[in-house]
Homo-oligomer: A and B are copies of this chain.
Amino acid sequence: MAAGRRNRPPAGPRGPVTSIDVARRAGVSQSAVSRTFTPGASVSEATRAKVMEAARALGYSPNAIARSLITRRSRMIGVIVAYLDNHYYPLLLETLSQRLQREGYHTLLFFTQTGAPVDTVLQEILQYQVDGIIMFSAVLSSDLADLCAAQGIPVVLFNRTVDDAAVSSVSSDNVAGGRLVGRFLAAGGHARVAYVAGVEDSSTSRDRERGLVEGLAQGGLALHARAVGGYTLDGARLAALALFDRADPPDAIFVASDHMALAVLDTLRFELRLSVPDDVSVVGYDAIPLGAAPSYRLTSVRQPNDEMVAEAVRLILSRIGAGEDGGPERVALPVRLVVRESARRPAGHDGSNDPQ
């Protein structure tokens, strides 16, 4: 009946060497082959040597898919990125992926449109039996969070938090960052401080604004104006124009991300013909490398990127290991102000805080 060969491709070029092939050649059992390729399993040196020799001769390497099926661990982490046009993310994605690799995990990458529902993508990810999910600035509804929880898949949000869901998150202390900026601008003698938000419903943008308001209050100021940039270059440009299309334009602008801040700066200088920081100060958030370029010299808030990534990896792995774990954790790491020349400094401030 030849049932055993039915699913083989038609004598294809692909040499699917299996552990059985290796076992046969080495004169050992399939179990012995498996043990040889399982770190920590008990195999005698003699057996191991025979297996390795046979494996080398046949060009065998274990089939991770089959292994995943039987162990119920895919060693894949689903990574969902909402958008990569922020210069800030690619670097983090690289660090994250390499860190996961080092831990023996792999990155299954998905993109969502900003603001679009994560639903479809999440379904696909779950079908691939990922061991965990890390979301980069994507918004997760609590329904979906529940879905993941029901399947026992830990989720870690990066650079976002959700209030109402059992989801871990790691971000910088956005409120503290905003506060730092608010105090700095107030101390710098600014009178009319405006905020350019990212996406309105992003926790990141909200928290930074909240901090700004608090910091300004400490200096006796209220927020003077606000506009929404939506985290895009165009949006930021329009926001900047809107802020100056009024009788009392701001004398300082805090922008929710460096990416947008660069666009704001360009718009102020080249479209509105303003001098930065003489006419108006600009402060960003993220401290992206380009902000340090001589053309921009952007004052910004620096997140501890590597630590944040390390923390996200630690969180996801600990929850994978634990099974029934200690529940979600929220981590907010400390930030610091990087003072350059795009914002007027408080008297006596010598800019020594500038690491660049």
Interface of A toward B, CB cutoff 8 Å: 7, 9-10, 12-16, 59, 61-66, 68-70, 72, 74, 76, 79, 81, 83-85, 87, 89-91, 93-94, 97-98, 101, 106-111, 121, 123-124, 126-129, 149-153, 233, 262-263, 266, 269-271, 289-290, 293-296, 323-324
Contacts and interface: CB of A to CB of B under 8 A. Distances in A.
B152 A14 contact: yes
Contacts of A14: 151-153
Given A63-B69, A290-B290, A295-B295, 20 more contacts: A9-B72, A12-B152, A12-B323, A12-B324, A13-B150, A13-B152, A14-B152, A62-B127, A64-B127, A64-B128, A64-B129, A65-B74, A83-B94, A87-B87, A97-B109, A106-B108, A108-B109, A266-B293, A266-B294, A295-B296
A62 to B, nearest CB: 6
A280 to B, nearest CB: 16
Identical copies in the complex: 2
A109 B111 contact: no
Contact of A69 (B61, B66, B93): B66
Contacts of A109: 79, 97, 106-109
A142 B15 CA distance: 19
B84 A91 contact: yes
Contact of A15 (B69, B97, B98, B151): B151
24 contacts: A7-B72, A9-B72, A10-B323, A13-B149, A13-B150, A13-B152, A14-B151, A14-B152, A15-B150, A16-B72, A63-B69, A65-B65, A65-B128, A85-B90, A90-B90, A97-B109, A101-B124, A108-B108, A233-B289, A262-B290, A262-B293, A266-B295, A269-B294, A269-B295
A129 B12 contact: no
Contacts of A126: 61
B106 A111 contact: no
A110 B91 CA distance: 13
B111 A94 contact: yes
Contacts of A91: 84-85
Contacts of A233: 289
A132 to B, nearest CB: 12
A352 B8 CA distance: 59
B70 A7 contact: yes
Contacts of A152: 12-15
What are the 7 A-B residue pairs with the smallest beta carbon separation, nearest first? A14-B152, A270-B294, A90-B90, A64-B127, A295-B295, A84-B90, A107-B109
A323 B64 contact: no
Contacts of A9: 72, 323
Nearest to A107: B109
Contacts of A63: 69, 127, 129
A61 B129 CA distance: 11
